[in-house]
C-alpha cells in the first residue's frame, strides 16, 4: 500500500525587526523563488502572498520533509538570494521564529482567498494583530515578548 496524506499548512513569518523590506516591485520574484524551493522539496504551493514585513505560504507538506526543515530551507536560501540579487536593498534577514497552522480540505479555498487578499486585509489589521489572532484561533498559547 502507498502512503497517502493531506497536510495543509499556512506558514507565516516576518522580516527581522518587522522592517518593511520586501518591496512590492520585486515581491513576485521572491514568491517564484520560494515556489522553486517548495517544488524541490516535493511540496505543493497553493498560494503565497504578503506585505513588506511578512509573508504567508499555503502549501501541502510532503512526507519526506519536516515542517521545521522546510521553513529553515526557505529562510536560509531566500535570505542569501535576497541579499545577493540586489532586488531587496532594505532586507536584513528574517525573524527567528515562524507560525504554522494546519487546515482541513474544507478550509482550503477560504485560506487561499485570505492569502490572495493580503494587501486589502492589512488596510485594517497590523501584522502583529493578525499573528495574535491566528495564534488565538488555533488555541496556541504565546508570550507577548516573543512576538
The CATH-assigned architecture of domain 8-139 is 2-Layer Sandwich (3.30)
Q: Which grid cell is 61?
A: 507538506
The whole-angstrom separation of Cα 18 and Cα 16 is 5
The three cell numbers of residue 126 are 497590523
pLDDT tens digits, residue range 96-122? 999 999 999 999 999 999 999 999 989
Strand (E) positions, 30-110?
44-51, 54-60, 99-103
CA distance 146 to 124: 23
pLDDT for res 1:
75
Residues 20-35 pLDDT 10s: 999 999 999 999 999 9
Q: CA separation (Å) from 11 to 3, 40, 51, 86?
A: 24, 17, 14, 25
Q: Domain coordinates of the chain in residue numbers?
A: 8-139
103 burial type by CB count under 10 A (0-12 exposed, 13-18 middle, 19+ buried): middle
Percentage of the chain exceeding pLDDT 90: 90
Q: For 51-89, write each residue's pLDDT tens digit.
A: 999 999 999 999 999 999 999 999 999 999 999 999 999
Strands (E), 61-112: 99-103
The beta strand positions in 24-139, using DSSP E, are 44-51, 54-60, 99-103
Amino acid at each position: 500500500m502507498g502512503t497517502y496524506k493531506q497536510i495543509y499548512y499556512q506558514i507565516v513569518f516576518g522580516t527581522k525587526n518587522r522592517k518593511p523590506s520586501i518591496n512590492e516591485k520585486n515581491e513576485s520574484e521572491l514568491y517564484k523563488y520560494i515556489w522553486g524551493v517548495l517544488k524541490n522539496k516535493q511540496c505543493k504551493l497553493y498560494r503565497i502572498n504578503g506585505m513588506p514585513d511578512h509573508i504567508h505560504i499555503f502549501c501541502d507538506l510532503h512526507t519526506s520533509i519536516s515542517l521545521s526543515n522546510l521553513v529553515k530551507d526557505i529562510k536560509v536560501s531566500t535570505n542569501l538570494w535576497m541579499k545577493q540579487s540586489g532586488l531587496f536593498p532594505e532586507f536584513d534577514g528574517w525573524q527567528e521564529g515562524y507560525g504554522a497552522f494546519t487546515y482541513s480540505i474544507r478550509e482550503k479555498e477560504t485560506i487561499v482567498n485570505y492569502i490572495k487578499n493580503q494587501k486589502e486585509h492589512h488596510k485594517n489589521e497590523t501584522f502583529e494583530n493578525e499573528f495574535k489572532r491566528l495564534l488565538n484561533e488555533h488555541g496556541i498559547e504565546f508570550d507577548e515578548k516573543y512576538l
